[in-house]
Amino acid sequence: MASYKVGYFVGSLSSTSINRRLAKALARLAPSELQLVEIPIKDLPLYSQDYDARFPPVALAFKQAIADCDGLLFVTPEFNRSIPGGLKNAIDWASRPWGQNSFARKPSGVIGASPGSIGTAVAQSQLRSVLCFCNSPLMNNVEAYIQFTDGLITEDGEVTEARTREFLSNYMQELHAFIVRVLTVLPRGS
């Protein structure tokens, strides 16, 4: 069976982020055909068009990390009913310079956790809009807005509630199937 490398972004820059815990849980629950690797965003400077002629090494490495992946997973919190600034900055870097959009035709999924009852629904909606503009095929058949409660996911990514563990495991199986479908229609390098 083919394996797929999935790069994931944690939208929060905090080392104690609940979305970082969620990302660890997703990596643990992923089918064996998916290899999840974090693509860090915290060291990127603020994007400016002034960089387009000569990207700094950290931005070149960031774009290469995306290019090396078969699919992407955005694990995002919601800050002030929107996408976190660090994540939006990373998206801006990856989509530039014009004509060199790293997200084009790259299958992706969006998920997030929040203590609030609607999870990260507003941020995910906005993120989906941005990713559609960036021509990234989005998994839409499973939406995941996780209401995070104390103890739901341990620091090392173990999900303590059986129903949530089953839901997240299914989410990762669906992400795998989606990546296979997209890459069947839009093969890498085509």
As a whole number of angstroms, the distance between CA 16 and CA 136 comes to 29
Q: What integer pLDDT is reported at residue 160 of this predicted model?
A: 98
With respect to residue 190, please indicate whether it lies within any of the assigned structural domains: no
Q: Is the pLDDT of residue 190 over 70?
A: no
Closest CA to 148 of 169, 125, 164, 132: 164
Q: Residue 46's pLDDT band (boundaries 50, 70, 90)?
A: very high
Q: Are 113 and 120 in contact (CB under 8 A)?
A: yes
Position 188 pLDDT exceeds 80: no
Residue 18 lies in a domain: yes
Give domain status of residue 82, yes or no: yes
Q: What CATH number has the domain bearing residue 153?
A: 3.40.50.360
Q: Does residue 103 form part of some domain?
A: yes
Looking at the domain assignment, is residue 90 inside a domain?
yes
* Overall domain count for the chain: 1
Task: With a cut of 80, say whether residue 1 has pLDDT above it.
Answer: no
| 109-120 residue pLDDT tens | 999 999 998 889
Q: Is the pTM of this model over 0.75?
A: yes
- Residues 157 and 28 sit within 8 Å (Cβ to Cβ): yes
Q: What is the mean pLDDT of the chain?
A: 96
C-alpha span between 125 and 115 (Å, rounded): 18
> Does any domain span residue 179?
yes
161 neighbors 169 (Cβ within 8 angstroms):
no
pLDDT of residue 189: 67
Could you tell me if residue 153 is inside a domain?
yes
Is residue 112 in a domain? yes
Give the residue numbers spanning the domain of 147. 4-185
For range 83-104, the mean pLDDT: 96
